Structure 1
């Protein structure tokens, strides 16, 4: 697996990876919420973030992360490629670039919390709603 900078030509595939990953890991989100988030991810998040993509040996995109400074705003791996070390590779790449990181995790996604804790993150706070005020509590983590 290789990591490279993301580019606008990748955005269509990254949106597909985001949606497939969310469907596989965010069982607390309804279809209506996922549909409402899709244009936010496509039109706001992908263009605004510093994107790094995870590619397979054949050049196919397997996952990505989005950074805002030292905050990890997005980390999504295609379900067919999960649990193969790609997420860890992306986090380690971000640490090399930015130093200690912060990340928010949906409280209703315990697998994500376990992933980040296994990488040395610790919970340092909690918000009862997400960044847009929706009723999805967030756990704030830091290196």
Structure 2
């Protein structure tokens, strides 16, 4: 697996990452209805184009299998193809982001307990909770900060 920062965000790349995003969300965000996933999906291309640092993990064949977005020491997004989960790719991306971009914070849906546990395992602790997401939807968010060194 190779991790690289993407400067040129072509329409083809955005489409590929949008498919990774949708597959990932459908596998992990079980609290969202299909209609809600499709509604949110409309905003993802703009987020992918606008995030300061967009990093992708590629398979040996060069196919994007995961991506993350980082802005000002904050992890803004991390999504993996469902078939790549549990292989250490997310952890490698986070470690890379901490080393190279100073990731210190992340916001995660409380209703995604696997993600919450993943970030806790990597040394993040919740410092704030909201009842709703940034759009006012009834999806509690946990704001987490990196409090200790990552476990190997």
Cα RMSD (Å): 1.0
Moved over 3 A (4+): none
**2: CA distance between counterparts of 1:76 and 1:129?**
21
**1: CA distance between counterparts of 2:113 and 2:75?**
17
**1: CA distance between counterparts of 2:49 and 2:132?**
24
**Counterpart in 2 of 1:120?**
123
1:137: how far off? 0.6
**1: CA distance between counterparts of 2:114 and 2:54?**
23
**1: CA distance between counterparts of 2:101 and 2:19?**
27
Secondary structure at 2:86 match in 1 = coil
As a proportion of its length, which structure holds more helix?
1
1:115: how far off? 0.3
Count of equivalent residues: 142
**Counterpart in 2 of 1:48?**
50
Residues 58 and 66, structure 2, Cα contact 8 Å, conserved in 1 = yes
**Counterpart in 2 of 1:140?**
143
TM-score, normalising length from structure 2? 0.90
**Counterpart in 1 of 2:150?**
none
Residues 72-131 of structure 1: CA distance to partner in whole angstroms, max 9, x if unpaired? 010000001111111011101110123241001101010000000111111111011111
**2: CA distance between counterparts of 1:64 and 1:132?**
23
Residues 54 and 63, structure 1, Cα contact 8 Å, conserved in 2 = yes
**2: CA distance between counterparts of 1:72 and 1:107?**
16
**Counterpart in 2 of 1:8?**
9
Gaps of 5+ in 2: 147-152
Map 1:98-113 onto structure 2 (within 5 A): 98-113=101-116
Residues 55-86 of structure 1: CA distance to partner in whole angstroms, max 9, x if unpaired? 01111111000112111010000001111111
